[in-house]
Amino acid sequence: MQIHSNASLRSYHTFGIAQRCKFLVEVSSVEELIDIYRRPEWQSLPKMVLGQGSNVLFTTFYEGVVIINRLKGMTVSEDSKSYRLKVHAGEDWPALVESAVRQGIPGLENLAMIPGCAGSAPIQNIGAYGVEFKDVCEYVDYLCLETFTVHRVSKDECGFGYRDSVFKHHLYQKSVVVGIGLIVSKDWMPQTRYGALCHLPSDVSAEDIFEHVCHIRQEKLPDPELTGNAGSFFKNPVITTEQYQRLKARFPNIVNYPQEHGVKLAAGWLIDQCGLKGTRIGDAQVHPNQALVLVNQGNATAEDVIRLAGHVCSRVYETYGVSLEHEVRFIGAEGEVYLNELLKKECDE
């Protein structure tokens, strides 16, 4: 375990923005993780666990310890009905999905190429093309930061919602995900009802879906290795049925997905219809091909991204009366902060 002080974070988060932290440590075992949280000299410092940093924006110097999760390992077992995958939290999610599909294990293919580590998947309840993490989750293992023991919670105990879980609420800052358990049925049925997959034939294979999803994502989304970004910047807003009906009357072509409670709108469509594709503040830009993604065109600052995100939110609200919520986590000097707080602070200054 190596400890770096005043470390650069540029290569540890996919936005690639120049930011630093007080200490940075890479851990490869639960024991090392426990050691970091128990160190007397670090007791008073805030701590932040990162996998690939694919969903964060550091807004300023981080006055604490950034912990890079390098917990590796995966095992596969099966019975007559299911495949089970036991995965350590530091495993790369896209590689995990591809490995499963290539081994003939179906069920994860819709979740191809979502950047990040396995440990981040349950926190966000990641999802794409009609499938969410909760649909394949059996359990999540986490380190309790009060007792320093590993606990297991079942899928039902995870409180999964749209980009939401118990790890954002009751277990927020009280736990670190160290492993996940996935279960997929051998009685597989293709999930092709969503958007760009609905035209696929009924006899499509899991590998065909995987290849198709990869092609779509590569075509629409910028590669963070080439252009800094954190994937989808905003959540798709869920509004009431009544509000949707009012919007539908004004905007007949509004993209929507009926939910159990309300209607989900496509945030990318809303942003696109406001004419915001390509909009730039400093070196931060709304991606010209995918309005849901904000990118770093080279030397963007955190302030550039914050101001651009605020501009997008304002325009969408002015046009549709819909409030956008950022999916990307903003990390301030001591922990998580929110866009409205940052914009208010900027105005006050």
Query: Catalytic residue numbers?
Result: 163, 232, 327
Which tokens is 139 given? 């359990």
Query: What's the angle, vertex CA 304, arms to CA 294 and CA 346, rounded to 5?
Result: 125
Residue from 151, 189, 191 nearest 170 by CA: 151
DSSP per-residue string spanning 57-92: EE-S-EEEEEEEE----EEEEE-SSEEEEEEETTSB
DSSP conformation letters of 245-283 = HHHHHH-TT--EEE-SSSEEE-HHHHHHHTT-TT-EETT
Angle at 144 between CA 142 and CA 145, to 5 degrees: 130
Q: What are phi and psi of 114, to 5 degrees?
A: -80, 115
- Residue 121 carries which side chain, given as an amino acid letter? A
Tokens of 39: 């160190």
